[in-house]
Amino acid sequence: MTYSSAVPSNGAGFAQVLHAEWTKLRSVRSTWICVGLTFGLTILLAYLAGSGNTTDANSFGPQRFFQAQLVHQSLTGDGSIVTHVASQEETGPDAKAGVMITGPVADPTSKTGLPASPPAYAAIMVTPGHGVQWQSDISHDAAGTTDPAPRWLKLTRAGSRITGYESPDGVTWTQVGTAEVTELPATARVGMFVSAPPTGVKAIRRSPTSIENSPDYTLSTAVFDSVRITGANGQPVSGSWQHVDTSGPPRELPHDSVAGSFTENAGRFTVSGAGDLGVQAPGSVGDNDVVRDTLSGILIGFIAMAVLAALYITSEFRRGIIRTTFTATPRRGRVLAAKSIVLAAVAFVTGVAAAVPAFLISQPLLRENGFAPPAYPKVSLTDGPVVRAVLGTGLVLALLAVLALALGALLRSSAAAITLVIAVVLVPLIIGPFLTLGGEAWLKRITPGAGMAIQQTRERWDDAIGPWAGIAVLSGWVAVVLIAAVVQLRRRDA
């Protein structure tokens, strides 16, 4: 005869454990005080971030840049220039190599870092990402074929009429663009140029409270051959080549400048340069993440949630209820799992419930304060990154709450658990500014606060880690502490 216990096996009982833990959480008054505080503080912080930020990003009009390494000769009257762009280094999709006709270029050494007002010019160029392009200072830009280098380019002048052509072989030519450049003097400069817009942002820390950043320019190098300048009479024009870097110093952070160069070897011209050429639309100056800035108040709300999470288990140890709990559910890991699930659910719902009004309250305030189109396109609650940030706010809060719970289970002291979890999340934010930018970025990558990256909705130069990678780091911390807590719970008497 076999004995069979009348006690139901534990496998069927997890739902009951969950229910028991939910009852314990919901029937304590302080739970709802903490949830209310998290909710309220997050929204309050969003209100502050909305009304305490202003920007003048939209007051900048379209800016015109004329920064390139230019290798030129003089050409009086009508004529043309033909060249073959043999190769072009791809530093980005908008690196430029081509031929140009321009009026006098201001002395670059007298510049102060502000974009100089460009001379009258017209240019045809090839770019790695968008093929052949036509540009002049007074007409709209035009696009040719999308073929990158190698490519043949030609520019002709007839009076003030400048026309640009492209060709795959130097024989059959296609017109790309044409313009009246009325301010062009009779004797103009014609030649090759190379330019490359910034590939990123370079930042330096001057002091704990001040960071300077500037565009990060990378030189692009192109090789030109078969260069031929022809005069009005159809005869080749020969002269000596001059070169000038029209961007001029200083457009870089101090002690670190990028200077273009030029060499000629048997009719092959190797030119390298960097800078912006053309019109930059307003809006490229504003780079605040208006969503993240207003949702990061969850870090403050988290303090109340951390108290709730730690007390959820430490109060059981303090009052001895944990012994009843473990008698009812002898598998201690399950108790912690049930607590984690219940707590994570409450925290997630709280986080999302706070993030939605936080977003809705702060965005109109920010728009009033200058964070408006075109510099700051309107963001909506249904945009993909915004959805990720809002749901992510709940996710981060849930993970941090479980971290506090696991620390509570591990240390069995609310004081220690609360202090530790607040310290590891908030202290890096306070001491980060004292470190180098690289050191601060590492701090943002490896501490549990990395999870806050989920609130990013646009790329910024100071992003330390991607949204999901940040969540992975935080999850790693939670997993490690949870495992340690389970091992501890099994070994130690309650």
Partner 1 sequence: MIVATRALHAEWTKARTVRSSGWLLVGITTLTLGLGALVAASVRFAGCAPPGGDCDVDATRIALSGVYVGQVAAVLFGVLVVSSEYATGTIRTTLTAVPRRWVTLVAKAVVVAGPVLLTAVLAVAGSLLVARAVLPANGFTPAHGYPALSIGDSATLRASVGTVLYLCLIALLSLGVALIVRNAGAAIATALSLLFVFPIVGTLVTEPRWREWLTEWAPMSAGLAVQATRGLDAMPVGPWQGLAVLTAYAGGALAVGGILLQVRDA
Nearer to partner 1, 232 or 435 (CB): 435
Q: Which residues bind partner 1 (CB under 8 A)?
A: 30, 45, 48-49, 52-55, 204-208, 212, 253-255, 293-294, 296-297, 299-300, 303-304, 306-307, 310-311, 314, 318, 414-415, 417-419, 422-423, 426-427, 429-431, 434-436, 439
Return d(Cα 81, Cα 75) in angstroms, integer. 10
DSSP annotation of 279 reads E
Residues forming beta bridges with residue 69, ordered by sequence position: 194, 245
Rounded to a whole number of angstroms, the minimum distance from the CB of residue 303 to partner 1 is: 5
Nearer to partner 1, 56 or 147 (CB): 56
**471 near 395, Cβ under 8 Å?**
yes
Rounded to a whole number of angstroms, the minimum distance from the CB of residue 298 to partner 1 is: 11
Local structure of 169: helix, strand or coil? coil
Long-range contacts: 18-22, Cβ < 8 Å, 24+? Answer: 18/338, 18/341, 18/342, 20/325, 20/328, 20/329, 20/338, 21/335, 21/338, 21/339, 21/341, 21/342, 22/342
**120 near 180, Cβ under 8 Å?**
no
Rounded to a whole number of angstroms, the minimum distance from the CB of residue 357 to partner 1 is: 17
**122 near 277, Cβ under 8 Å?**
no
Rounded to a whole number of angstroms, the minimum distance from the CB of residue 423 to partner 1 is: 5
Nearer to partner 1, 416 or 484 (CB): 416
User: Measured between alpha carbons, how far is residue 362 from residues 35, 59, 328 in Å?
Assistant: 21, 22, 47
Rounded to a whole number of angstroms, the minimum distance from the CB of residue 294 to partner 1 is: 8
Rounded to a whole number of angstroms, the minimum distance from the CB of residue 52 to partner 1 is: 3
Rounded to a whole number of angstroms, the minimum distance from the CB of residue 34 to partner 1 is: 9
Nearer to partner 1, 166 or 289 (CB): 289
Nearer to partner 1, 26 or 318 (CB): 318
Nearer to partner 1, 389 or 417 (CB): 417
Residues forming beta bridges with residue 117, ordered by sequence position: none
Backbone angles phi, psi at 259, to 5 degrees: -115, 130
Nearer to partner 1, 48 or 352 (CB): 48
Backbone angles phi, psi at 32, to 5 degrees: -75, -25
